[in-house]
Amino acid sequence: MANDVTLTCRMNKASLPVMNTQQLAYVLIQAVPGEGMAQVQMPLNLSLVLDKSGSMSGKKIQNLRQAAKLVVDRLGPEDTISIVAFSDRKYLIADSQQVVDQEDLKKKIDRIRDGGGTAISGGMGQGLAELDKALSPDRVSRMLLLTDGQTFGDEKQCLKLGKKAGESGVVVNALGLGDDWNEDLLDEIAEASGGVADFIDSPDSIVSFFEQAVKSMQDTVVQNAQLILRLASGVTPRQVWQVLPMISNLGYRPLSDRDVQVTLGELEKGQPRSLLVELLISPRPAGTYRIAQAEISYDVPGLKLVGEKVKTDIMLDFSADAVRAKQYDADVMNIVEKVTAFKLQTRALEEAKMGNVAGASQKLRAAATRLLEMGEDELAQSALEEADNLEQRGQMSSRGTKKLRYETRKLTQRLSP
């Protein structure tokens, strides 16, 4: 059908100057499900995998129960849900079932009590077993995992389960609550399945995070999206960054000397998936050139569509007019700046892990400067505080590390559509 997916491309500059050397250029590629997808909705196959260890006492467990019940209220009879709790043991609160008796499910949620240690793999394994019962290409299969603590001795098993989930078509979205959890582990679990991890800094925010997670699942309409970028001679890709819905380094797979492939995965209706591609472009005489062609292939299970494609050419002008060659697309350059700030804090965290205090603190202060220029005062202050922590104590705080790591991923979300 028409208007399945809309594909647009914008260069950071409409014209490059005529020069004798390679030049760096950026192209913003955006794919968004079209208006024809507005009424498409796939049923969910969802497993909630929830930490009930002793550290979840008080407001944490209360708000977790409230959030889980909200999820139940948001689902319909076509959806399936299972609920698993874990401490150092696993507890099957509700086996995989269609959401036909919401009150019974909520009563079971109310019986979840905190206590015990933390072993995430037990909960993940049980959650995957329940998801397997309703796996189908016509369903959106998700695991929503929440923990507030460090898992002990089963990290490798957690990563295996994350990989197994991805191979089965299950996306794991992992949420870390508070300060004392392993962000490297949750990121790796999520990324292995095609999902994302995120940071909940306060129990008061659990409900809103769960609400947003369910909306994202219900809005998923496109699956198996792949971008192929066919490059003209003399055009070389350097990096591919996802910039919406959040910033991450996607990387790419060379298909040939001039073709590269980028996995996009799933697209949500009304939510652009935007990529920023860094290109090195060889010298050319004055004129207009097609430097690349972008093509996205995708499936829409809800409409029984498989292997659909949309493509567009990426054009660039080379000009001897110095004034024209200095003109920039402000929106694209704004995104470049946000990606640059994200890169700086990422490199700072990496250097801090390696013990390079001077290098890490220098990059944090550089990131703070850029963040201040963007009006991100709170994040800039966090970067400066962590630079001080490094210089005075030799290490960053757990909360500050998580805040910078996860909040800088969302810088592009502040932009107007």
Mean pLDDT for the stretch of residues 297-301: 95
| Nearest-angstrom CA–CA distance, 384 and 206 | 28
Sign of CA dihedral 159, 163, 168, 171: positive
| Among the listed residues 281, 322, 333, 327, the one whose alpha carbon sits nearest the alpha carbon of residue 17 | 322
What's the pTM?
0.93
Strand partners, 281: 23, 235
Structure confidence at residue 35 as a pLDDT band (50, 70, 90): confident
Q: Which two tokens mark 339? A: 């990606």
| Nearest-angstrom CA–CA distance, 316 and 46 | 45
Sign of CA dihedral 130, 135, 140, 142: positive
What type of residue is 97?
Q
| Nearest-angstrom CA–CA distance, 257 and 235 | 10
pLDDT at 415 (0 to 100)? 61
What type of residue is 78?
E
Residue 414 has pLDDT above 80, yes or no: no
Taking only the tens place, the pLDDT of each residue in 48-93 is: 999 999 999 999 999 999 999 999 999 999 999 999 999 999 999 9
pLDDT at 309 (0 to 100)? 96
Structure confidence at residue 417 as a pLDDT band (50, 70, 90): very low
pLDDT at 36 (0 to 100)? 84
Is the CB of residue 197 less than 8 Å from the CB of residue 175?
yes
pLDDT at 52 (0 to 100)? 98
Taking only the tens place, the pLDDT of each residue in 149-196 is: 999 899 999 999 999 999 999 999 999 999 999 999 999 999 999 999
**Percent of the chain scoring above 70 in pLDDT:** 99
Q: Which two tokens mark 277? A: 């591609």
| Nearest-angstrom CA–CA distance, 60 and 57 | 6
pLDDT at 416 (0 to 100)? 47
Taking residue 71's Cβ as centre, other Cβ atoms within 10 Å add up to 24
Structure confidence at residue 1 as a pLDDT band (50, 70, 90): very low
| Nearest-angstrom CA–CA distance, 34 and 2 | 8
pLDDT at 78 (0 to 100)? 96
Place of tokens 């430097």: 291
**Percent of the chain scoring above 90 in pLDDT:** 94
Taking only the tens place, the pLDDT of each residue in 370-407 is: 999 999 999 999 999 999 999 999 999 999 999 999 99
What type of residue is 378?
E
pLDDT at 262 (0 to 100)? 96
